[in-house]
Structure 1
Amino acid sequence: MRSYQEAFSPYWHPVAFSHELKERPLAARLLETELVVWRTGSGVAATQRYCAHRGADLCGGQLTEEGLRCGFHGWTYGRDGRCVRVPSQPGVPIPARAALTSFRAVERYGLVWVCLAPEPAAPLPEWPELEDGSVATVPLPRLDWNTSAGRMIEIVLDVAHLSWVHEGTFGNPQQQEVPPYEVERSAAGVRAQISYPALSPAIGGMPPKVDRTTLSYEVFFPFAARLSFKPTIFYAHTVYAIASPWSEEKMQCFYFASYHPRLRNHFPDMFVKSELAILEQDRLIAEAQRPRAHPLDFSSEVHVRADRLPLEYRRGLIAIRTGHPVDAPTPD
């Protein structure tokens, strides 16, 4: 069994929203690794957070044309982590060890992504609708939860909890049975689709309405999920949850949604308020689960067919942890 960090370091994980990264370097954390990320003339850069000279926090440094300059002694580092300037000894060759560990970093979908391994094990999720202008997008405040990234994604995929946990938001308490559904498995992730009679909350004294909604789930391993809602009496919209592991028991989630551009003037505020209420219901459940770390087997919990989608997802993560191909076999 590979360690958590070893297993998931070769994947891309978001560490910041693009709008957070401005004219100053930004602190980030990924898989118990402390990072500093900053903008360069050719993109974004990510390195170890502390200066190779005397361990100063580079998040307090400044960006220059040469690179990231430490605020303690002015040592300056390029995007590749190599020191390019030592002001106290301008005429002396810079020591070869004067370098920071650097990591791959890219910017896409309004997020800064980092891969801690030399070569990524998989590409970024393919979400073309977020780049072709066909939809509008709104980010939610970043979610910091005391649970594992895997646990967080499992609750997003959990079909059976909708009527119980989300009462008062969109859950329908009268719909307790989960009809059989199919799960499509691949090396990249899992997919499924269900029909759910969502219940809108009562507004202005009007009784809640049942809106039969098609829910389409798609996961890109290890921790990125897209959930599309297609109601019958309202516009379709899609939510995106990318859980970024700080450690095996804590994660931050970058969560946002796309929606029809016609709703641009009204939908963002309404959506954020509604979705934060739904996510708070999920957080209370997820943070109370034990263990917080994502289980490495199925023996400690009892499962039924209604759990098929999160089970297929878990099988994929177990395969990654054990170093086996992600073939996602059908559960027993």
Structure 2
Amino acid sequence: MRSYEEAFSPYWHPVAFAHELKERPLAARLLGRELVVWRTGAGVAVTQRYCAHRGADLCAGEVSGEGLRCAFHGWTYGRDGRCVRIPSQPGAPIPPSAALASFHATERYGLVWVCLAPEPAAPLPEWPELEDGSCATVPLPRLDWDVSAGRMVEIVLDVAHLSWVHEGTFGNPEQQEVLPYEVERLPQGLRAQIVYPALAPPMGAAPPKVDKTTLTYEVSFPFAARLHFKPTLFFKHTVYAVASPWSEEKMQCFYFASYHPNLRMFPDIFVKSELAILEQDRLVGEGQRPKAHPVDFSGEAHVRADRLNLEYRRGVIAIRTGRPIDAPTPG
């Protein structure tokens, strides 16, 4: 079994929303590493957070035309992490040790993504609707939960908890049975679809109505999920949840939705309702034990309704052990 950091370092993980990264460098954390993120003329750059000279926090520095300048002594680093300027001795050669660990970084889907390994093991998720101009997006505040990344994704993919955990938001307590469904293997993950009689948001004093909703779940390994909602009464929209692992037991989730740009009232409705829904999930997730995402199925009992979560966990276990991710087992 590979360590958590070794197994997931070769994958892309988000460390910031793109709109958070402005003129100043931004602190980030990923798989136990403290990082600093900044913009250059050639795109985003990500390196270790602390200066190679005296360990100063580079988040307190500033970005210049040459690169990221430390506020302590002015040492300046290029996007590849190499020091390009030492003001205290401008004529002397820069020692090879004057360098920061640097990492692959890119900006896509409104997120800044980082891969800590020399070469990525897989591409970014394919979400073309976010780039073809057909939809608008609305983000939630980052979700800083005391939950492992795999646990977070399993909550998002869990089809059996809707009527229990989400009573009072959209969950329908009268619909507890989960009918059989299939799980399909995708090039980068899994897909499943169910129909759920959700409760539509109440309008005024009227009681909520049952809204027959088709839910299409897609997961891109290791920690990215896309959930498409096609209701009959409410607005069609898609939710994206990408859990970024700070450590094996803690994560930060980047959560946002896409919707038709003509639906001007959607962002306010979505943010208010989704934060209430996610708070219900957080209370459950932070109480689960073990806190780390399990690497086997012992100690838990499972039923047919858990099939999507089981196939997802099999994929994560394959990554941890360095094996290929197999197709779902027959239902």
TM-score by length of 1: 0.98
* 8 A contact 1:186–1:326 mirrored in 2: no
For the residue of structure 1 that corresponds to 2:284, the secondary structure is helix
Matching residue of 2:273: 274
Equivalences for 1:1-332 in 2 at 5 Å? 1-263=1-263, 265-330=264-329
- Structure 1 alignment gaps of length 5 or more: none
Using the alignment, how far apart are the partners of 2:186 and 2:233 within structure 1?
33
Q: CA RMSD in A?
A: 1.0
Does the CA contact (< 8 Å) of 1:27 and 1:35 recur in 2? yes
SS at match of 2:262: helix
Aligned-pair distance for 1:260?
Answer: 1.2
How far residue 186 of structure 1 moved from its aligned partner, in angstroms, is: 3.8
For residues 209 and 109 of structure 2, the distance between their equivalents in structure 1, rounded to whole angstroms, comes to 34
List runs of 5+ in structure 2 lacking aligned partners: none
Q: For residues 196 and 289 of structure 2, what CA distance do their matches in structure 1 show?
A: 28
Q: CA deviation at 1:202?
A: 3.4
% identity of equivalent residues:
82
Q: State the Cα distance separating 1:329 from its structure 2 match.
A: 3.8
What secondary structure sits across from 2:211 in the alignment?
strand
In 2, Cα distance between the equivalents of 1:125 and 1:201? Answer: 31
Query: Residues of 2 paired with 1:16 and 1:147: CA distance?
Result: 18
2:92 counterpart letter in structure 1: V
Deviation at 1:187, TM superposition (A): 4.9
Partner secondary structure for residue 261 of structure 1: coil
Matched position secondary structure for 1:320: helix
Please tell me whether the aligned partners of residues 148 and 250 of structure 1 are also in contact (alpha carbons under 8 angstroms). yes
CA deviations over 1:257-303 (Å, ceiling 9, x no partner): 0011110x211011100011110010000000001100000011000
Distance (Å, rounded) in 2 between the aligned partners of 1:157 and 1:119: 29
Deviation at 1:201, TM superposition (A): 4.2
- Assess if the C-alpha contact under 8 Å between 1:187 and 1:325 holds in 2: no
- Matched-pair contact (CA < 8 Å) for 2:139–2:257: yes
Runs of 4+ in 1 over 6 A off after TM superposition: none
**Cα pair 2:38 2:44 within 8 Å, conserved:** yes
Distance 1:41 1:202 in 2: 48
> What are the superposed Cα offsets for residues 89-114 of structure 1, whole Å, 9 maximum, x if unpaired?
11110001110000000001111000
- Residue identity in the other structure for 1:261: P
Of stretches 316-325 and 183-192 in structure 1, the one that deviates more from structure 2 is 183-192
What is the TM-score normalised by the length of structure 2?
Answer: 0.98
Q: Any conservation in 2 of the 1:27–1:49 contact (CA below 8 Å)? A: yes
Task: State the shift of 1:330 in Å.
Answer: 1.2
Equivalent residues of 1:138, 1:257 under 8 A apart = yes
Going from structure 1 to structure 2, the CA distance change for 1:300 and 1:293 (only over 3 Å counts) comes to: same
- Distance in 2 of aligned mates of 1:311 and 1:92: 59
The count of residues paired between Structure 1 and Structure 2 equals 331
Q: Is the 8 A contact 2:77 2:83 kept in 1?
A: yes
Give the superposition deviation at 1:46.
0.2
Secondary structure of the 1:308 match is helix
